Amino acid sequence: MRGSDDHRPLLAVTMGDITGIGPEIIIMALSEAELYGLCRPLVLGDLPALEKARAVCGSRARLHATDDPGSGFYQPGTIDIMVLSDLTADAVSYGQPTRDSGAAMVGYILRAVELALAGQAAAVVTAPISKAAMHLGGYHYPGHTELLAERSGAREFAMMLAGGAFRVVLATIHCPLREVPGRLNTPDLVRLLALTNHSLMMDFGIQRPSIGVAALNPHASEGGLFGDEEARVIQPAVDQALARGVNVIGPLPADTIFVRHQRGEFDAVVVMYHDQGLIPLKLLHFGDAVNVTLGLPIIRTSVDHGTAYDLAGNGRADPGSLKAALRLAAKMAHARAKCRQGHERGSE
């Protein structure tokens, strides 16, 4: 245990759905000694589930339960856990979430938000949840993103997935594809472009970000032959964002915008719907990409994958994305702390 001079950001790491791969990837990621040089990870979750995952992974890490974030060891070889549920190991059947595991899973997230809002955690890093299990547990949100936004009081927020410099930001998230055209509107897109621009500067340290905007229709509708959302909704948003000083180009045909993105032309591409952005992102970066919620008063990163029930309990899941999420959260925490110090100095 180090004292109050410990400048490593404390990360509240939620265990996610304990019947999925969350507990295993936590054990594996936190077995990497190097991570402890960057951050103080505190797991929020279920002790029997973590013990079970430790056995599955053949890990010898010591599990240290603590109620006080200030009392963790945060050293390689020990995993600190704030115990928020105690579902017996027998009650945890891999791939079979229950009402109790669903409710417990949301409890970890809510506690993490409290810690972050109270300044006891510098960031929240979430292991995967199943949206169906969330509903089973009595919480009717599309995912973490909306729950976190509501609980932290964020009015404007967005989902970004970042695989290195290949970043995509979603204009619509979890909704039926048929609803996408009706959900797109110019004012929301302008706000999303401004938020993306701001986050790229503040959290990613990019001085003058370059943002591409994907079209919705084939060939960006080819002058109205294949739809009108480009002319009616997207182009006006791009024009308004440009007038506000955002360095943005689009709407560009979605079948080639990611080729240009991959070649380094953009710092982020705003996409119109979930799979438009996440297919190229996961094709190129599954296993090292990070889900970042933009616009929250707290920092939140997450993995680029789901609960992988087909893998849970066999110890073969890849912890790469969780490691990347922990590293990025630590980096963002340092960036925000530096920003705050700058503001404080400026106001002295």
Ligand X SMILES: N[C@H](C(=O)O)[C@H](O)COP(=O)(O)O
Ligand Y SMILES: NC(=O)c1ccc[n+]([C@@H]2O[C@H](COP(=O)([O-])OP(=O)(O)OC[C@H]3O[C@@H](n4cnc5c(N)ncnc54)[C@H](O)[C@@H]3O)[C@@H](O)[C@H]2O)c1
% helix / strand / coil in the chain, to the nearest 5? Answer: 45, 15, 40
41 counts as binding ligand Y under rule CB under 6 A: no
Sequence ranges of the binding site for a divalent metal cation: 174, 219, 274
Nearer to ligand Y among residue 11 and residue 317 (C-beta): 317
Report which secondary-structure segment, H or E, holds 276: helix 274-285
* Nearest distance from C-beta of residue 179 to ligand Y, angstroms: 17
Sketch the per residue contact string, 5 through 24, with ligand Y: x for CB under 6 A, - otherwise: ----------------x---
145 counts as binding ligand X under rule CB under 6 A: yes
Give CA angle at 268 (267, 269), nearest 5°: 140
Strand partners, 252: 214
Find out whether 79 and 62 touch, Cβ atoms under 8 Å: yes
Helix/strand number for the chain, H first, E second:
12, 12
Sketch the per residue contact string, 79 through 118, with ligand X: x for CB under 6 A, - otherwise: ----------------------------------------
For residue 318, the partner it binds in ligand Y, ligand X, none, with Cβ less than 5 to 8 A by kind, is: ligand Y
Sketch the per residue contact string, 223 through 262, with ligand X: x for CB under 6 A, - otherwise: ----------------------------------------
129 counts as binding ligand Y under rule CB under 6 A: yes
The site for ligand X, by CB under 6 A, has a size of: 9
For residue 311, the partner it binds in ligand Y, ligand X, none, with Cβ less than 5 to 8 A by kind, is: ligand Y
DSSP line for 113-175: HHHHHTTS-SEEEE----HHHHHHTT---SSHHHHHHHHHT-SS-EEEEEETTEEEEESS-SS
